[in-house]
Structure 1
């Protein structure tokens, strides 16, 4: 039987079976921590052979690398009609991105994975940045650029505009989570925080105002 492939925006196709293995890695990280993450343990949890894991991922570091990419791919900028982008659609897209990102980073799997990355910063730090923060920026910047072209917002630099929005969305949430705090992040709170971030961003970068400047 042919295995259906899951297509991730900007990423290669990942089969459902391979995705199940990556989800098994995340579950092990949450339940037992990085020390328990061995190829044997993953094979047992995912009900596959170690030979399959080595064939797909190379080694433990390769498995962790793809797990980082898999988790980061869950943050998406959302879909919008480029030809009919208006203020309402822009606000809706910004809020959807913010809510999606907050939901992902507040999950136990993201917290566990980020803690592993911090503990193995030399090996995984750059990978987490490249496939997390930097990749997410590249997914949202087209929306910002299209909104600028439509005269909805004004800015000089897309990276600076993204960093501003990213900061408005995240505030101190991620560092609090990594340090063991559990700020309230239920669905209603996330929706409210996403709307607040979008409102603040549009207040800063609205096209009728001067582009925001760093510093």
Structure 2
């Protein structure tokens, strides 16, 4: 199968996976049910994804792919850390509050095995947070930030950026924020982060 055709087919399968997940929950979702919903063969799903964990790992990776690529590109380029956070913040906030991300988190909360939660953590947070930490550490090296506990600095940034919005989305209390809302919140989060962890003025770049 050509790459373009395979990509289209994978998107159809993954759309079907979300539909079955919403209807049956993670525990009630099977590869066979997804294959039937996608009008695909069960063999195709196993060949492409391995098993149910592999399929849902792929869903989480796809959700996180844009943010991961942005962070990796910015880290490789060695650019300004504050500018990197300005670019990445809105995209990260949008990513964790999309309907698909919320569907996965709702299903994980209802999964008594904890399997889906582990998958989301491994392919989402455990992949992205170390990259964000590298950007924040580079900000200290560049003279923007001053801190001794990198983990605390990183967790503070994420708390300022995301707060309880994702949880409120999961329980149906707030709608999905639009791009302008995400941009405004990301800007405010970065400003507050700089107030909390900004280096003394005489140490900041260009001063």
- Which TM-score bucket, shorter chain as reference? 0.7 to 0.9
Query: 1:160 corresponds to which residue?
Result: 152
Are residue 123 (structure 1) and residue 123 (structure 2) matched? no
Please state if 1:34 is matched with 2:28: no
Q: For 2:58, which of 42, 55, 66 is the aligned residue? A: 66
Higher relative contact order (CA 8 A, sep 6+): 2
How far has the Cα of 1:27 moved from its partner? Answer: 4.5
1:140/1:84 Cα in 2 relative to 1: closer, same or farther (>3 Å)? closer
The alignment's TM-score, normalised by the length of structure 1, stands at 0.77
Gaps of 5+ in 1: 5-14, 210-215
**Structure 2 partner of 1:112:** 103
**Which residue of 130, 136, 158 corresponds with 1:144?**
136
TM superposition shift of 1:149: 1.3
Q: Is 1:80 aligned to residue 71 of structure 2?
A: no
**CA distance in structure 2 between the partners assigned to 1:64 and 1:84 by the alignment:** 33
Matched with 1:3 is 3
- Counterpart-to-counterpart distance in 2, 1:42 and 1:68: 16
Matched positions, count: 196
Unaligned ranges ≥5, structure 2: 202-207
Matches of 1:81 and 1:67 in 2, distance apart? 24
- Per-residue deviation, 1:16: 2.2
Return the match for 1:57 from 49, 53, 58.
49
Of residues 181, 187, 203 in structure 2, which corresponds to 1:189?
181
Higher helix proportion, which one? 2
In the TM superposition, what is the alpha-carbon distance from 1:139 to its structure 2 partner? 1.8
Instruction: Give the deviation of 1:3 after TM superposition.
Output: 1.3
**What's the counterpart of residue 103 of structure 1?**
94
Aligned to 2:192: 200
Q: 3-state SS of the aligned residue for 1:192?
A: helix
Shift of the 51–119 alpha-carbon distance from structure 1 to 2, 3 Å rule, reads same
Q: Structure 2 CA distance, aligned partners of 1:160 and 1:103?
A: 23
